[in-house]
C-alpha cells in the first residue's frame, strides 16, 4: 500500500515520508533538512507519477537520470530508494548519471538499509553501452549546451523514448520546450512542483517540468540556426539575472516577473514597461531603464542613465492579445537578450578600437583622470632624501625584518578570507599565485616598465633614473665613486656590483647582508636601458638558507621604484603606472578602463575596487607602485562593466578584483580573483594577498629573463660585447701590422701590442670562465632547492586532493554527522591518504609495508583498515595509559574481540638467525624489530589470512607498521 495520494508539493512529501516506516528518521533532520530532501527527491517522483506513471507501476522499466546535482548521487542513491516508497513499496531502480565523483559522506545509519542505485559518471558512455534505450530519461540540464548535447545523443541512441526535463524557472522551461520542439520533439504542457498548495516555487531545482517524446529515427528536423542562437542568448541572459539575486527569495521574485509586461510609474510618469526584476525594468516607448534607488529606502522607481539604442528598441515584439502570456514573455525575453548582446558587442568594439583617434582619447582620458585623482585623494609627496620601503598600514602584530629596501613589515599571520554565502556575492577564487617558501634563491618580484611620461629625451630619463638608484644606495650606506665604470664594493651594509657599457646599459646588484641573522638575505637587481626606448627592470630576490627563514612577503615594492615612478615616470602598455589609486566616475572613464583591461600588451595586473573606499586604496597603490594599476570605480562604472563583460567577469557592489594580464571578454572568471570588501577600508590581510598575487604574476608573465633580465644576464651580455670589441681591435691591429712599414722595430712594437692585447683577452676569458663556473655551482644549488620544493608541493597537492575528494559538506546533513562510522576504503590505492587522515600522527606505514600491501592478495581490504584503526584508537591509548587506569586496557581487549583478532609477540622468529632479518626495519636511521603482530584467520591462504607486524616506538609514542597482510617467514611458514 502506498502513501502517495495527493502528493504534489514539497510539503506533501515532507508529510508523506513520515508515513513510511523506514523514513521516520527524517524528522530528526530539522525543518531545513526535511524540506531539502522532499524538494530534491519529491520533485522527480512527482513528475514521474504524473508524466510517466508507467515507470512507477512497472517493475522492469528502465529509468535514466542525468543530473549535475551532487545530492542525487549521494549515499549510493539510497535517498531515491527511500522516497520512492511513498509511491511504490516494492523495489524501485534507476541509473543516476553524475559527471563527478559522488559525495563520499557518511549516510544516516537508517538509510543504509535502503538498496543502492546504480551511479555512473558519463551519461554518453552509459547510453552507448545499453543494449536497448531507456524507457524514460529524466534530465536536469545544467545549462543550454548540456540540453543540446543530450538531444544530439538521444536522437541517435534512444529514438522514441520519453524525456522528462526539469528546469529552475517557468521561463527557462519555456526556452527548453521551444528548443526541443524546434528539433521535432512532441512536447507537453508545463507542470509545476509547488512548495505547498498555497505557495508556488518560482525558482528552485525541479520546480518546473515538461514531458517530450524523442523523434523516431529519420523524423528529427534541423532547427533554425538563428532561433537556436536567440534561445541560447535568452537562456544565458535569464541565468545572469538570476545570479543578480542576493537570496533565494530574490531569485524567485526575479523569476516571477522577468520579461513580463507592466504598467509602472517612474518619477511620476506612467509608462508601459517590461520588467527585468522586482526593482528594475525598461520603458518600451523610450528604451530608458529604471530602477529603485535602494540607498533612499523608498519603493519608488527612478530613471537610470542607461538607454537602449533606438534601432534595437524598434525590434521589440508588439503586444498580441491572441498570444498566451507564456508566449509573450518568451518573445520579450528573446528580444531583450538579443538587444543586450548587440549593445555588449558595440561596447566591446568601442573599447577595442585602436586607431589614432582612440589613442588620442586614451591619452586625454588618462590625463584627466590623473588630475581628478590628485584632486580627490590626498597623497603627500615623498621627500627625495627619504628612500625606504613604500609606506603601508602596519598591523600591531607585524614583525619587522631587514631587507634590501630597509625596514620591511611582514605580517605574522594572515586571516583567511570570509566566505560570503549570499547568492549575489559569489566570490571567484582560483588557486592563489603564491611566492615560494622553500630554501634557496626565491624570486619575489620581477618588474619591467618603460621610463617617462612622454616627451622626455632618452638620455635625460636614463640619467634621472640612475641618479635615483644611486641616491637609494647612499641611503642604505653604500656610495659609489663612479657610476660610469664597472664597480664592486663590499661594506657592512652589504655588497654592490655595477656593470655598464658606459652610456646606454647600466645594471646593479645589491645584496643586503644585514638580515643574515634571520636566515635570509635580500637582493635587488636593477637594470636601466637607454636606447632605443628608455626602460627599467627590477628583480627582488630572497636568498633563503632554510625553510624557517622569514617569508618572502614584503611590505611593498622598494622605495626606489616609488621614487622613480614619482620623479621619472613608469609606463605599462602606454599607460602610466601611478602611485595613487585612479578614481573613475563617468562613461569616458569606463571606456578607458575597458581598453586597459583588454589591452593585449598589458603586463601588469589591474586592481579594480568597487564601492566606497578610504585612503587605504592609495596606500595599496603606493605599495604596488610599478607592479599594478589600482583603480577605484563607482556604481555607474561597475554597472557598465556588468553590461559589457557580464556579472561573472565584472566587479560590483563592495568588492575588489584583480585582472591578470591577458584578460578578454570571454576569459575564465576564475583566473581573475575577487574578494568581498566589508567596510570602506582595505583590511591588511587583503592588501597582503593582493600584493603577493601581483608579485607572483610578475614572475609568470612571458619569458622572465627576456622581459626583466637578471643582473647575470646583463653582465654576460656586456662581457660578450667587450670580447667582441677586443676581437675587433685585434683584427684591426693585425691589419695595421700587415700594412706597416718594413721597419723591424716597428713590426716588433706592433706585434708586441697584438701579444699584449691577446694576453689581456686571455685573462678576460679566464675571469669569465671562473664566473661561469661559479654560476653553474649556484644554479646546481638552486636546482636542488627547486626539486625539494616541487616534491613538497606534489605531496601537498596529493593530500589536498584526497581530502577534497573525500569530504561532503551538504548543510542538510549537518545534524546527522555525529557518531558516524569511520571510512574504510575497499582498495589499497588510498592507504597512504587514509593513514594521513585517520592516523592522528601516531601511525607510520613503513615503506616495506607499503610495498607489500600493493601486491597483497587479501580480499577483505576494509578489514585491514579496521586493524590499522585499532592500533590508533585502542592499542596506543592502552600503551600510554596512566598507572591504575584499566579502562584503556579493557577497551583494547574488547576491540580485539569485536574484530576477532589476536595480538601476540612474534615469538622465537627474532632469535632465529634464519628468519631474524625479515623482522628488521630501519626507522629514523635506527634499527627496530617487529616484535608484535596482529593475527586473524588460520591456515596459509593469503586471500583469507591476515597478519600485521608492527613495533611500538616508546620515544615518540607511535606505531610503526612494518608488514601486512601476509605471513613473515618463521619456523612454520618458512617463506613470506
Task: Estimate the crossing angle of helix 587-598 against helix 356-376, to 10 degrees.
Answer: 110
Three-class DSSP category at 325 = helix
Three-class DSSP category at 242 = helix
Task: Estimate the crossing angle of helix 458-475 against helix 559-567, to 10 degrees.
Answer: 150
In whole angstroms, give the CA distance from residue 139 to residue 153: 13
48 sits in which H/E element: helix 30-51
CA atoms within 13 A on the CB side of 709: 18
Least confident piece of the model among 438-452, 495-509, 957-971: 438-452
pLDDT for residue 391 is more than 80: no
In whole angstroms, give the CA distance from residue 683 to residue 629: 19
- Structural Rg of the chain based on CA atoms: 36
Strand-pairing partners, residue 527, are: 507, 537
User: What percent of the chain has a predicted confidence (pLDDT) above 70?
Assistant: 86
Cell 535502503, residue? 114
pLDDT for residue 835 is more than 60: yes
Least confident piece of the model among 446-460, 559-573, 795-809: 795-809
Confidence band for 387, pLDDT divided at 50, 70 and 90? very low
Three-class DSSP category at 971 = coil
In whole angstroms, give the CA distance from residue 558 to residue 910: 65
Burial code of 727-747, b = ≥16 C-beta within 10 A, e = fewer? eeebeebeeeeeeeeeeeeee
Q: What are the tens digits of pLDDT across the range 196-238? A: 999 999 999 999 999 999 998 888 888 788 999 999 999 988 9
Peptide bond into 227 cis (omega under 30): no
Query: Among 897, 901, 893, 900, which Cα is nearest to 877's?
Result: 893
Report CA 391 to chain centroid distance, whole Å: 30
Burial code of 179-204, b = ≥16 C-beta within 10 A, e = fewer? bbeebbbebeeebebbbeeeebbbbb
Q: Is the torsion defined by CA of 191, 196, 200, 202 positive or negative?
A: negative
In whole angstroms, give the CA distance from residue 871 to residue 879: 10
Q: 6: alpha, beta or left, given left = phi > 0 and alpha = psi -120 to 50? A: left
CA atoms within 13 A on the CB side of 167: 25
pLDDT for residue 404 is more than 50: no
pLDDT for residue 181 is more than 60: yes
C-alpha cell at 599: 589591452
Q: What are the tens digits of pLDDT across the range 254-282? A: 999 999 999 999 988 999 999 998 888 99
Cell 560570503, residue? 420
Residues 6+ apart with CB under 8 A from 589: 365, 369, 633, 637
In degrees and rounded to multiples of 5, residue 647 shows phi and psi of: -60, -40
Confidence band for 818, pLDDT divided at 50, 70 and 90? very low
User: What percent of the chain has a predicted confidence (pLDDT) above 90?
Assistant: 38
In whole angstroms, give the CA distance from residue 498 to residue 929: 61
Confidence band for 189, pLDDT divided at 50, 70 and 90? very high
pLDDT for residue 653 is more than 90: no
Q: Do 468 and 563 contact (CB within 8 A), yes or no? A: yes
Q: What is the pLDDT of residue 713?
A: 84
pLDDT for residue 740 is more than 60: yes
Query: Among 171, 183, 326, 147, which Cα is nearest to 254's?
Result: 171
Q: Do 835 and 843 contact (CB within 8 A), yes or no? A: yes
In whole angstroms, give the CA distance from residue 154 to residue 973: 60
Q: What are the tens digits of pLDDT across the range 46-100? A: 999 999 998 888 888 899 999 999 999 999 999 999 999 999 888 889 999 999 9
Cell 511504490, residue? 88
Give the DSSP letter of residue 872.
I
Q: Do 201 and 207 contact (CB within 8 A), yes or no? A: yes
pLDDT for residue 612 is more than 80: yes
At residue 799's C-alpha, the angle toward residues 797 and 805, to 5°, is 95
In whole angstroms, give the CA distance from residue 932 to residue 961: 10
Beta strands in 332-486 (DSSP E): 399-403, 406-410, 440-451
C-alpha cell at 240: 545572469
Residues 6+ apart with CB under 8 A from 718: 499, 500, 501, 505, 507
Three-class DSSP category at 176 = helix
Q: Where are the alpha helices (DSSP H) in 106-143?
A: 123-129
Q: What is the pTM of this model?
A: 0.56
Strands 136-139 and 63-66: parallel
Cell 548582446, residue? 341
* Residue 688 Cα distances to 521, 556, 610, 615, 619, angstroms: 21, 9, 18, 16, 12
Report CA 560 to chain centroid distance, whole Å: 33
In whole angstroms, give the CA distance from residue 208 to residue 408: 59
Task: Estimate the crossing angle of helix 225-243 against helix 144-157, to 10 degrees.
Answer: 140
Q: Do 624 and 693 contact (CB within 8 A), yes or no? A: no
Confidence band for 579, pLDDT divided at 50, 70 and 90? confident
C-alpha cell at 477: 650606506
Q: Is the torsion defined by CA of 5, 11, 15, 18 positive or negative?
A: positive
Q: What is the pLDDT of residue 817?
A: 39
- What count of other Cβ atoms lies within 10 Å of the Cβ of residue 25? 15
Q: What is the pLDDT of residue 362?
A: 43
Q: What is the pLDDT of residue 953?
A: 93
Confidence band for 5, pLDDT divided at 50, 70 and 90? low
Q: What are the tens digits of pLDDT across the range 474-529? A: 887 788 877 788 888 887 778 889 999 887 899 999 888 777 767 778 888 999 99
In whole angstroms, give the CA distance from residue 73 to residue 820: 20
Cell 537602449, residue? 308
Query: Among 50, 340, 324, 65, which Cα is nearest to 178's?
Result: 324
Q: Do 254 and 281 contact (CB within 8 A), yes or no? A: no
Q: What are the tens digits of pLDDT across the range 588-597? A: 788 889 889 9
pLDDT for residue 407 is more than 70: no
Strands 269-277 and 260-266: antiparallel
Cell 601581483, residue? 694
In whole angstroms, give the CA distance from residue 481 to residue 372: 43
Q: What is the pLDDT of residue 743?
A: 67
Q: Do 629 and 596 contact (CB within 8 A), yes or no? A: yes
C-alpha cell at 132: 536497448
In whole angstroms, give the CA distance from residue 138 to residue 84: 15
Task: Estimate the crossing angle of helix 616-623 against helix 684-700, to 10 degrees.
Answer: 30
Mean per-residue pLDDT of the chain: 82
Q: What are the tens digits of pLDDT across the range 743-763? A: 677 778 888 888 888 888 888
Amino acid at each position: 500500500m502506498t502513501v502517495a495520494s495527493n502528493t504534489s508539493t514539497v510539503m506533501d512529501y515532507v508529510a508523506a515520508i513520515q508515513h513510511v516506516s523506514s523514513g521516520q528518521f527524517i524528522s530528526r533532520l530539522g525543518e531545513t533538512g526535511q524540506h531539502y530532501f522532499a524538494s530534491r527527491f519529491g520533485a522527480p517522483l512527482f513528475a514521474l507519477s504524473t508524466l510517466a506513471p508507467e515507470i512507477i507501476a512497472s517493475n522492469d522499466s528502465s529509468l535514466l537520470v542525468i543530473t549535475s546535482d551532487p545530492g542525487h548521487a549521494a549515499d549510493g542513491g539510497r535517498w531515491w530508494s527511500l522516497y520512492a516508497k511513498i509511491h511504490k513499496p516494492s523495489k524501485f531502480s534507476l541509473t543516476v548519471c553524475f559527471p563527478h565523483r559522488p559525495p563520499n559522506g557518511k549516510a544516516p545509519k537508517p538509510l543504509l538499509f535502503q538498496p543502492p542505485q546504480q551511479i555512473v559518471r558519463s551519461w554518453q558512455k552509459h547510453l552507448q553501452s545499453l543494449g536497448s534505450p531507456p524507457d524514460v530519461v529524466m534530465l536536469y540540464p545544467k545549462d543550454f549546451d548540456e540540453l543540446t548535447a543530450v538531444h544530439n545523443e538521444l536522437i541517435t541512441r534512444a529514438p522514441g523514448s520519453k524525456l522528462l526535463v526539469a528546469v529552475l524557472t517557468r521561463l527557462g522551461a519555456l526556452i527548453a520546450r521551444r528548443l526541443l520542439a524546434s528539433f521535432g520533439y512532441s512536447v507537453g504542457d508545463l507542470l509545476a512542483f509547488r512548495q505547498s498548495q498555497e505557495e508556488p516555487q518560482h525558482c528552485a531545482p525541479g520546480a518546473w517540468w515538461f514531458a517530450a517524446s524523442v523523434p523516431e529515427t529519420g523524423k528529427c528536423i534541423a532547427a533554425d540556426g538563428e532561433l537556436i542562437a536567440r534561445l541560447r542568448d535568452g537562456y544565458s541572459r535569464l541565468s545572469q539575472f538570476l545570479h543578480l539575486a542576493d537570496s533565494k527569495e530574490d531569485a524567485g521574485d526575479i523569476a516571477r516577473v522577468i520579461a513580463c509586461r507592466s504598467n509602472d510609474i517612474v518619477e511620476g510618469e506612467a509608462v508601459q514597461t517590461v520588467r527585468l526584476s522586482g526593482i528594475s525594468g525598461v520603458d518600451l516607448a523610450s528604451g530608458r531603464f529604471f530602477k529603485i534607488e535602494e540607498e533612499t529606502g523608498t519603493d519608488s522607481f527612478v530613471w537610470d542613465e542607461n538607454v537602449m539604442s533606438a534601432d534595437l528598441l524598434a525590434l521589440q515584439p508588439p503586444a498580441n492579445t491572441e498570444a498566451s502570456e507564456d508566449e509573450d514573455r518568451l518573445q520579450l525575453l528573446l528580444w531583450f537578450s538579443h538587444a543586450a548582446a548587440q549593445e555588449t558587442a558595440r561596447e566591446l568594439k568601442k573599447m577595442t578600437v585602436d586607431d589614432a583617434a582612440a589613442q588620442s582619447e586614451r591619452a586625454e582620458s588618462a590625463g584627466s583622470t590623473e588630475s581628478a585623482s590628485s584632486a580627490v585623494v590626498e597623497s603627500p609627496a615623498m621627500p627625495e632624501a627619504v628612500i625606504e620601503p613604500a609606506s603601508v598600514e602596519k598591523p600591531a602584530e607585524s614583525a619587522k625584518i631587514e631587507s634590501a629596501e630597509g625596514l620591511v613589515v611582514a605580517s605574522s599571520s594572515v586571516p583567511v578570507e570570509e566566505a560570503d554565502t549570499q547568492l549575489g556575492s559569489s566570490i571567484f577564487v582560483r588557486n592563489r599565485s603564491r611566492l615560494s617558501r622553500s630554501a634557496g634563491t626565491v624570486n619575489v618580484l620581477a618588474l619591467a616598465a618603460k621610463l617617462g611620461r612622454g616627451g622626455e629625451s632618452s638620455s635625460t630619463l636614463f640619467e634621472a633614473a640612475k641618479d635615483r638608484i644611486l641616491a637609494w644606495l647612499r641611503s642604505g650606506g653604500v656610495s659609489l665613486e663612479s657610476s660610469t665604470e664597472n664597480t664592486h664594493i663590499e661594506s657592512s651594509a652589504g655588497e654592490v656590483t655595477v656593470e655598464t657599457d658606459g652610456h646606454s646599459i647600466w645594471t646593479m646588484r645589491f645584496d643586503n647582508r644585514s638580515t643574515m641573522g634571520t636566515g635570509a638575505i635580500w637582493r635587488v637587481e636593477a637594470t636601466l636601458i637607454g636606447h632605443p626606448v628608455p626602460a627599467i627592470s627590477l628583480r627582488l630576490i630572497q636568498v633563503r638558507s632554510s625553510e624557517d627563514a622569514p617569508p618572502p612577503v614584503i611590505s611593498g615594492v622598494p622605495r626606489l621604484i616609488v621614487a622613480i615612478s614619482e620623479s621619472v615616470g613608469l609606463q605599462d602598455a602606454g599607460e602610466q603606472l601611478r602611485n595613487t589609486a585612479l578614481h573613475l566616475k563617468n562613461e569616458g572613464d569606463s571606456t578607458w578602463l575597458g581598453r586597459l583591461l583588454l589591452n593585449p600588451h598589458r603586463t601588469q595586473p589591474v586592481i579594480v575596487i568597487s564601492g566606497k573606499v578610504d585612503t587605504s586604496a592609495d596606500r595599496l597603490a603606493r605599495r604596488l607602485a610599478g607592479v599594478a594599476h589600482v583603480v577605484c570605480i563607482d556604481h555607474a562604472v561597475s554597472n557598465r562593466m556588468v553590461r559589457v563583460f557580464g556579472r561573472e567577469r565584472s566587479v560590483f557592489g563592495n568588492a575588489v578584483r584583480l585582472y591578470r594580464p591577458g584578460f578578454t571578454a570571454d576569459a575564465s572568471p576564475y583566473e581573475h580573483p575577487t574578494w568581498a570588501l566589508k567596510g570602506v577600508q582595505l583590511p591588511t590581510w587583503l592588501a597582503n594577498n593582493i600584493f603577493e598575487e601581483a608579485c607572483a604574476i610578475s614572475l609568470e608573465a612571458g619569458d622572465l629573463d627576456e622581459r626583466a633580465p637578471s643582473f647575470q644576464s646583463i653582465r654576460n651580455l656586456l662581457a660578450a660585447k667587450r670580447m667582441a670589441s677586443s676581437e675587433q681591435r685585434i683584427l684591426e691591429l693585425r691589419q695595421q701590422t700587415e700594412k706597416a712599414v718594413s721597419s723591424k722595430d716597428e713590426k716588433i712594437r706592433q706585434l708586441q701590442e697584438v701579444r699584449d692585447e691577446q694576453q689581456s683577452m686571455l685573462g678576460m676569458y679566464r675571469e669569465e670562465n671562473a664566473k661561469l663556473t661559479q654560476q653553474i655551482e649556484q644554479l646546481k644549488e638552486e636546482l636542488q632547492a627547486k626539486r625539494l620544493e616541487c616534491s613538497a608541493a606534489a605531496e601537498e597537492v596529493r593530500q589536498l586532493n584526497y581530502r577534497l575528494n573525500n569530504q561532503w559538506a551538504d548543510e542538510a546533513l549537518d545534524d546527522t554527522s555525529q557518531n558516524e562510522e569511520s571510512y574504510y576504503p575497499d582498495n589499497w590505492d588510498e592507504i597512504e591518504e587514509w593513514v594521513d587522515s585517520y592516523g592522528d600522527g601516531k601511525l607510520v606505514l613503513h615503506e616495506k609495508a607499503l610495498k607489500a600491501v600493493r601486491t597483497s592478495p587479501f580480499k577483505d581490504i576494509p578489514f585491514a583498515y579496521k586493524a590499522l584503526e585499532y592500533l590508533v584508537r585502542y592499542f596506543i591509548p592502552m600503551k600510554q595509559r596512566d598507572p591504575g587506569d584499566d579502562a584503556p586496557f579493557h577497551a583494547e581487549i574488547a576491540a580485539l574481540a569485536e574484530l576477532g583478532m589476536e595480538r601476540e609477540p612474534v615469538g622465537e622468529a627474532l632469535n632465529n638467525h634464519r628468519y631474524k632479518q625479515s623482522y628488521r626495519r630501519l626507522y629514523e636511521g635506527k634499527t627496530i624489530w617487529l616484535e608484535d603482530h596482529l593475527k586473524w584467520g588460520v591456515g596459509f591462504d593469503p586471500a583469507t589470512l591476515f597478519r600485521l607486524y608492527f613495533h611500538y616506538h616508546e620515544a615518540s609514542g607511535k606505531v610503526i607498521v612494518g608488514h601486512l597482510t601476509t605471513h613473515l617467514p618463521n619456523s612454520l611458514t618458512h617463506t613470506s
